Amino acid sequence: MATWQGRRVLVTGAYGFLASHLIEALVSRGAEVIGLVRDRPAESYLQLQGLDRRITLAPGDLTDFGAVKRALLEGEAEVVFHLAAQAIVGLANRSPLSTFESNIRGTYLLLEACRELRQDGAPIAAIVVASSDKAYGDQEKLPYTEEAPLLGLHPYDASKSCCDLLTRAMSKTYGLPAAVTRCANLYGPGDLNFSRIIPATILSLLRRERPVIRSDGSPQRDYLYVADCVEGYLALGEALLAGRGVGQAYNLGTGKPVSVLELVGEIIAVVGSDLEPDVQGTASSEILHQYLDASRAAAELGWTARTRLHDGLRLTYEWYTRYHQAHG
């Protein structure tokens, strides 16, 4: 708590799912948060929790170097959490250019702004950049460790491989106090992107509709509860402030793969529904199995995922039930 009390923190993509929860944790710890935002969505967890009234919102597009630099400079940022990205895999496949602009160009412009400002004496002391387990691509050896090559070959995956490499290159070459997180699939209260499997399944069950599985149900993923992920980000930020972990990448996950069919079955059990999933088997361009070895984060950051899948899904379902009752 003392680490964050009064500390000035810039969070990019502040209206996003993870960013909203990270901001909630930072505000509760006494940080002064500046949220860099391009668009204001109709709804987000940040707004629903009233958090956008407790932080400074700095309008600006990541691909606008002047806007990024101004937000860092005027906000007197000491810590940067770079979470802004085009994160929808289907959209990335349909529109790779906008994904590359946001995820790759946006990242290197932010890093360059931090580098220039630090040269001029700005107090930026820690930069945490969100990569993803998707950066590893499709590999035979699982779970992924941080030593595995980055082999993202689809647009979103490749964009995350690039921003990951760029971050560590800027740290190595210019001494930027930066590090990378490679997170598993996140879930939890407040994810309003209903194209994702967990929100979509819960919403279908609340409407008494059969949940749709676009794949054949066999792909395995690592599902990380958002509050656990937030603790991982804070632990890495604290490590960087203490001079540890600079230039490194850290996996944040449970290390426990779950198939899509098993996941949907667990949600159905949590809800207490008798509906069966509609397994369509139409999904393409998906990596078959992905899960992470997070032992480096445990050893160097003292972080481990603490929330069991059943418990996390129950908390998530309870939140969506309240949201659905209020919003229909």
The residues annotated with a catalytic role in the active site are 156
d(CA 159, CA 131): 9
> Which residues touch 315 (CB under 8 Å, ≥6 apart)?
188, 189, 225, 307
Q: DSSP class of residue 75?
A: T
Six-digit token string for 244: 């540890």
> Which residues touch 136 (CB under 8 Å, ≥6 apart)?
144, 148, 149, 150, 151, 152, 182, 290
Bridging pattern class, strands 258-259 and 220-221? antiparallel
- 143 prior amide bond cis, ω within 30: yes
